[in-house]
Amino acid sequence: MGNNEASKYANGKYILLLNSDTISDFKVYEELIEYMESNKNIGVIGPKCIDELGVTQESFGYEFSISKEIFGKIFMSLYLENIPFVKSIKNKILYKNKPIEVDWVGGACALIRKDLWDKIGGLDSNFFFSYADMIDFCYQVRKLGYKCIYYPLVSIIHKGSRIVTRDLKTRIMGLKKGYLGCLYFLQKHKKSLFYIYLTKFIYILISLFKGILALFLIPFNKKFRDLSSSHLYVSFWLSKNFFSNNYKSI
C-alpha cells in the first residue's frame, strides 16, 4: 500500500494521509497540528470534507453496528440525497460546529501521530480500495488509549465519490471492496461467524433494494442505469459467495 511505503521515509512528528483528488490550503494542516499539539491525547484528527459543490461528505463515524450500516448505506447514499427528507436527515447528522470525538475519521485527509502509526504498523493492506482501512486503524488507535477527532472548523475539497462512480466497472469494484472491507474488519476483530453472515445477508438486501429502486428511476435519469446494474450485480455476487470467508482476496 502506497501510504505504508511512503511513511517509511517520514521522520517528522506527524503523518498526513491526503488523497490525490483533494484541494486544500496549507493553513488547514497548520490548524490541525496546532489542535493536536494542545491535546496530547488525540491520536488522529480529520477536517470536514466537502465535494466540488460544497456538499458535506461523510468523513467520520462511530462504532460498527448492523443498524448503522443499514441507515448509512441507504440514507447516506449519493443518489438518494436529492430526496428532501433524506437530504435533511443527512445534513443534520453531518453538521457539526465544533470538534467532536468520533470512532473514526476518513482517510481522504487525516493527521496521525507518527509514533502511533509506527506502533500499529500503518494501514492494513487487506482493506485495499475500502474505507474500512481507517475504521480499522482508528479502532486500534482508540485501543491504545488515544482519541479520534473530527475537526469541522477547517475543510478540504474531496472529489473522491466522482472517481469511484466514473464507470460501471469501477463502481462495481468500489461496492464489492466496500462490503468486503467491512466483513474483513468484523472477521479480523473476532466477531462471531453468525454476526458476519447476518451482516453479509443485510448487505445483499441493501444492494438488492438500491438496485431495484434505481431501476425504477432510470426513465427519469439515465445515470441510474449503471447504479442499478452495479447494485444488482453485487447483490448476486455476494449471494453466490455467501459461504466464502476469504474477505481479503475474493
Residues 231 and 200: beta-carbon distance below 8 Å? no
Q: If the chain, 250 residues long, is cut into consecutive pieces of 10 residues, what is the mean pLDDT of each piece?
A: 79 92 92 97 96 86 91 73 72 90 95 96 86 93 97 91 67 90 94 96 95 89 87 96 82
Name the strand (E) or helix (H) holding 147: strand 147-158
For residue 78, the 8-state DSSP code is: G
Residue 14 confidence (pLDDT): 96
- pTM as predicted: 0.89
- Residue 45 · residue 127 · CB < 8 Å: no
pLDDT number for residue 57? 87
- SS3 state of residue 47: strand
pLDDT value of position 10: 83
Locus of grid cell 466496500: 178
The pLDDT of residue 13 = 95
Long-range CB contact pairs, 211-220, < 8 A, 24+ = 211/235, 214/79, 217/79
State residue 118's pLDDT score: 95
Top-tier CATH class for 2-162 = alpha beta
Distance between CA atoms of 121 and 123, rounded to whole angstroms? 7
- Helix locations, the chain, DSSP H: 2-7, 26-38, 66-75, 84-94, 114-120, 132-143, 160-164, 168-188, 193-217, 224-240
What is the pLDDT at residue 171? 86
Burial of 235 (0-12, 13-18, 19+ CB in 10 A): buried
**What one-letter code names the amino acid at 171?**
R
CATH 3.90.550.60 in the chain, residue ranges: 2-162
Angle between helix 66-75 and 193-217 (nearest 10): 20
Q: Output the pLDDT for position 211.
A: 92
Give 1's DSSP letter. Answer: -
